Amino acid sequence: MRIFEDIKVGLERDPATRSALELILTSPGLHAVWAYRIAHGMWKLKLRILSRMLSNWAKFWTAIEIHPGAVIGRRFVIDHGVGVVIGETAIIGEDVLMYHGVTLGGKTLEAVKRHPTIGDRVTLGAGAKLIGNITIGNDCAVGANAVVTKSMPAGTVAVGFNARLLNLTGDEFYVI
């Protein structure tokens, strides 16, 4: 059963949590994932407003926003969690570890696949921003506060960010 699997992996990945009872009572990441699973089930049944209401309730109590349309694999752990945002068309593989402040965001307002796809066994560092319809391969790591706007091949690590100044047409103005 996934509940027991969630508890087991939560204890394995959080050395500060010393018991299953402590995890169940105090882990906002676990609470957000459980609420997401219910909301996602409602989403698939086309109960869109109810699923969004549950999602918003979970966001209020956990400070973690997971759109009920996102697809999330097994053994997903959100450590600390405050400020996590997972967009509607995001896909997250299995055995993913996500720290606080991570955004899986879109960069278009069109009703298309606009959020990242995350492979299996990926670690997303605190404050990482993954933007757009990109793919993060299996066994990747994204460092804290990294900004990723291009796909990553399997087994790679992304660190840092490179800001560029563009004019309003999208042409590069100069590099800062």
Q: Measured between alpha carbons, how far is 168 from 164 in angstroms, rounded to an integer?
A: 13
pLDDT band, residue 1 (cuts 50/70/90): confident
Alpha helix segments (H runs only) across the chain: 2-13, 20-26, 28-44, 48-62
DSSP category for residue 152:
B
Query: What is the token pair recorded at 103?
Result: 């955004």
Across 67-83, b (16+ Cβ under 10 Å) vs e yields bbbbebeebbbbbbbee
pLDDT band, residue 176 (cuts 50/70/90): very low
What is the extent of the structural domain holding 89? Answer: 2-175
| Number of domain units in the chain | 1
Question: Whole-model pTM?
Answer: 0.90
- Which of 25-34, 47-56, 151-160, 161-170 shows the lowest per-residue confidence on average (mean pLDDT)? 161-170
**CATH (domain of 10):** 2.160.10.10
Q: Measured between alpha carbons, how far is 74 from 3 in angstroms, rounded to an integer?
A: 10
Cα distances from 121 to residues 43, 109, 153, 157, 168, in angstroms, run 26, 29, 13, 13, 38
Taking only the tens place, the pLDDT of each residue in 92-151 is: 999 999 999 999 999 999 989 999 999 999 999 999 999 999 999 999 999 999 999 999
| pLDDT of res. 92 | 98
Taking only the tens place, the pLDDT of each residue in 46-58 is: 999 999 999 999 9
